[in-house]
Amino acid sequence: MTFHNGEKLTAEDVKFTLDSIRDPQVGSWLRGFLGPIKDVQVVDETHLKIKTDTIENQVIPAFAYVDIVPRSADTDLAKKNPIGSGPFKFVEWVPNDRIVVERNTAYWDQARMPKLDKIVFKPVTELQTRLSQVLAGNVDLVYDFALQEVPRLQADRRVAVTLNPPAEQSFVAYVNQRKPPFDKVEARQALGWALDREAFFKNFQAGIGSPVGNSPFTDKHWAYEPRTADTYRYDLDKVGQLLEKAGYPKGQGMDFSFLVPSGYPEFKQISTLLQAAFAQVGYQPAIEEVEIGQWSARLNQSHDFSVAVDYPGRGTADPALTYSAGLLYPPTAANVGGLTPETIPGYVDAIREGAQTLDQGKRKEAYSRVQMLWMEYLPGPIFGHRSAAHAGVPGVKNFVPHAAFQQSWVDVSLEK
Amino acid sequence: MTRYLLLRVLGVIPTLLGITILVFGITYLIPGDPALIIAGTDASPEVIDQLRRRWGLDQPVWVRYGIWFGNILQGNLGESYFSRQTVVQLVGNALPVTLELAILSLLVAVVIAVPAGILSAVKVGSWFDVAAAAVSFVGLSIPGFWLGIMLIYVFGVYFQILPAGGFTPLERGLVANLQSMILPAIALGTFASTQLMRYLRASLLDVLNADYIRTARAKGVREWAVLVRHAVRNALIPFTTVLGVQMGYLLGGTVIIESVFALPGMGRLVLTAILNRDYQVATGIILLIAAAFVLINLVVDLLYPVLDPRVRLARPEG
């Protein structure tokens, strides 16, 4: 097995990759994924010993996110010439214009060689131009476009539409529990009852996706807790009652806004529906739209926000990973809403239990508890699962969208 | 005359210096953090601090300005945090696209504006003048992105005679290159032409009412000669200034048209850099655009004495 630069891939390279990710000096976003690893030892050219203090179920699924790099390369985050060992190798990146990869003729799996000679990825920011390009046959595939366009493209014989099952990404609201009004559990629960999920999916997602919400997982996932399905629905009476209980009767004294990044219509649509729901029971929250860099800084650094909608992923991963990575579920310093290990009694213990046992029954029971505790304290409401649509010319064969957006192109072919 | 030229050229230096302070200050005032954007939302606070230290973002603003300004004096505009390409490399890729788009759309604008402007002024109040005014108002009101999307839909998707957006570099053939640039040039040039036409019409009307035109007519000079030799030549002087300013705007890249047609030009480059808080790229490009703007204005100013003898005569001491 060799890298794209011809070097042999050995256990030393895997150790180098894992150690680099774990090194805080490098600054890899995956560092938390590999958190439980204490040491990586090379046994021989093809074997490693990875040490953890106890059984850690998050480690093996986390490896799916790790791209092994040669130890001759440095640990720079943004490399000019990325080198891997996959079916396609990097050719060039012209910012705003194209990324080109070509077939790796020395790919290790000779039985499953890439079918395409090369792939050119073109960033086209304007949705209508992207769709026009595939309809005109100027490009072969458009990856992930607005679901509202799906019915139109499904009716057009020049393209074939493929859908991601709604599972990986869930619509959520980050809620700032550090300050009023959402320091009160009733105010957070009111938010959970405020979204008309059916209306959102019907009107803004072309009816595609899963309005069954409240859990990071769908009913296809082994860890899914069915009791979460109806914990929160759309009920304006409940919103009014809970807000009164929280100390804000008839909208008095309640001051908050929805922070929305420009260019993410779904976040704004959900925020607008929530705003309308609050208005109907006498509250007047504002919507504040800022560009994405500012949105991110206010969420993660200054914590200057009340509610912000997002669609984080990892709904298809092992729950050990779902609850240890990201900004919503783990009660760490990076938690956007300010969730601490003390916020929900028993939450951390249940997460650790699920992460550190191999008994599937016990794991399921532990994660059921995690989900039900989440429902009770509701640090962030979950509003169903997002699907994604892709459209290709009929000549594109064997394109199967990856559930977690880790798309492989090895089997995809193009018939002209 | 020499003094006029010297003063104009020397005047550029404080302007450019002021621009560096402004560009740097404004870019760094935008809230946001490149470390946060590149590290991704899953990164821990230590990871973000580490990246900030590596890029010197933990230093006070004036220290960063000093380093940046020192680098600029050495011709080093910095490199992208994201792509690791130098600003010069990035601009080298984007500028030809924008330059071609600017020239072609200016060409479209001039081809429409000059005959229409002249005809409107000569036949003032005629059906042509009224129709041209109506068309130009419509042209000014149509949003560029809408016209762009419509052009793509009609010529790219429906008739399929031109590509539906995207850029074909000149190396892949002149015809293919021009095919990829026609629609964006029309979308951009149409808008510019309406402004230029209104401007040319107004300045030509001014000139046509001047005493020397009446004198020329009284002398018995033929009408076309009055128009071409006396009127249009004089009306083109202020027109040149507007053309220069338009060129400056177009060189800055037109974010909307470049986004609609997926052209990898300066507008998209600077927009992405600002959105990513890619400070080095953003400041480098804005500085280059501002400098180009200043230089184009300088060239226009220097052209004045050539085009207009009155500017020369007004400074006899030179």
Residue B279, token pair as written in the block: 């400070």
Residue B183 forms contact with A (CB below 8 Å): no
A262 has a chain B CB within 8 A of its CB: no
Dist. CA B205–CA B58, nearest whole Å: 59
The proportion of chain B whose per-residue pLDDT surpasses 90, expressed as a percent, equals 29
Does residue B316 surpass a pLDDT of 70? Answer: no
Residue B315 reports pLDDT greater than 60: no
pTM of the model: 0.84
Question: Which pLDDT belongs to residue A111?
Answer: 94
Task: Test B41 with A79 for CB contact under 8 angstroms.
Answer: no
Higher pLDDT, B57 or B43: B57
pLDDT value of residue B164: 93
A25 at the B interface (CB within 8 A)? yes
Residue A250 reports pLDDT greater than 50: yes
| pLDDT at position B252 | 65
B85 vs A95, A125, A129: nearest CB? A95
Q: Which two tokens stand for residue B103?
A: 């020239």
**Residues of chain B positioned with their CB less than 8 A from the CB of A308:** none
Same domain, B193 and B233: yes
**Mutate: best of A97, A157, A158, partner B, most B CBs <10 A:** A97
CATH number at residue B268: 1.10.3720.10
Of the CATH numbers 3.30.230.10, 1.10.1060.10, 3.40.50.150, 3.40.190.10, which one belongs to the domain with range A118-165+388-414? 3.40.190.10
Backbone angles phi, psi at A169, to 5 degrees: -105, 135
- Say yes or no for a CB contact (<8 Å) between B47 and A135: no
Sequence spans of domains, chain A: 11-85, 118-165+388-414, 166-387
B72 and B105 in a single domain? The answer is no
Flag whether residue A407 sits within 8 Å of chain B, measured between CB atoms.
no
State whether B114 and B72 are in the same domain. no
Burial of A245 (0-12, 13-18, 19+ CB in 10 A): middle
Mark which of B45, B76, B107 sits at the end of a domain.
Answer: B76
What phi and psi, each to the nearest 5 degrees, are found at residue A40?
-125, 120
pLDDT of residue A218: 94
Helices (H), chain B: 2-29, 34-39, 45-54, 61-73, 87-122, 127-141, 144-151, 174-208, 211-218, 223-225, 233-251, 255-260, 266-275, 279-307, 309-313
B142 and B58 part of one domain: no
Band (A167; pLDDT cuts 50, 70, 90):
very high
Percentage of chain B surpassing pLDDT 70? 95
List beta partners, residue A310.
A172
Does the pLDDT at position B156 exceed 50?
yes
Contact B39 A124 (CB under 8 A): no
Same domain as B193, residue B99: yes
**Res A175 pLDDT > 50:** yes
pLDDT of res. A307 = 98
In a domain, B265, yes or no: yes
Topology given in CATH for the domain delimited by A166-387 = Dipeptide-binding Protein; domain 3 (3.10.105)
Length of chain B: 318
User: Is residue A25 very low, low, confident or very high in pLDDT (cuts 50, 70, 90)?
Assistant: confident
SS3 content of chain A, % helix, strand, coil (to 5): 30, 20, 50
Cα(B24)–Cα(B67) distance, integer angstroms: 12
Predicted pLDDT of residue B140: 84
Total of domains in chain B:
2
Query: Are B39 and B154 in a shared domain?
Result: no
Yes or no, beta carbons of B82 and A78 under 8 Å apart: yes
Q: Residue B317: pLDDT above 60?
A: no
pLDDT band at A27 (very low <50, low <70, confident <90, very high): confident
Q: Is 0.85 exceeded by the ipTM?
A: no
Across chain B, what does the average pLDDT equal?
Answer: 86
CATH superfamily for A11-85 is: Dipeptide-binding Protein; Domain 1 (3.90.76.10)
Contact (CB<8Å) A78/B84: yes
Q: How far is A239 from chain B (nearest CA, A)?
A: 30
Instruction: Looking at the structure, tell me whether residues B71 and B99 fall in a common domain.
Output: no
Q: What is the pLDDT of residues B21-53, one digit of tens each?
A: 998 888 777 777 777 777 766 666 777 787 788
pLDDT band at B11 (very low <50, low <70, confident <90, very high): confident
B147 belongs to a structural domain: yes
Q: Determine the pLDDT at residue B40.
A: 66
Structure tokens belonging to residue A116? 């395409």
Q: Is residue B118 located within the same domain as residue B45?
A: no
Asked which of B76, B111, B132 is the last residue of a domain, the reply is B76
Interface with chain A: mutation pick from B51, B153, B155, B157, highest number of A CBs within 10 Å: B157
Q: Over chain A, what is the mean pLDDT?
A: 93
Closest CA to B121 of B231, B237, B233, B244: B231
Whether residue B293 sits in one domain with residue B190: yes
Return the residue of B nearest to A263 by Cα.
B275
DSSP 8-state symbol, A173:
E
Look up the domain containing B44 and give its range: 32-76
Q: What is the mean pLDDT of residues B199-228?
A: 89
A21: part of which helix (H) or strand (E)?
helix A11-22
B244's tokens: 């220069």
| B257 inside 8 A of chain A by CB | no
| pLDDT tens digits, one per residue of A47-62 | 999 999 999 999 999 9
Q: How confident is the model at residue B239 (pLDDT cuts 50, 70, 90)?
A: confident
> Considering only residues 269 to 298 of chain A, which have any Cβ-Cβ distance to chain B shorter than 8 Å?
291-294, 296-298
pLDDT of residue B139: 84
3-state SS class at B302: helix
pLDDT at site A78? 53
Q: What is the full DSSP assignment across A92-131?
A: EEETTTEEEEEE-TT-S-GGG--S-SEEEE-----HHHHH
Residue A348: pLDDT band by 50, 70, 90 thresholds?
Answer: very high
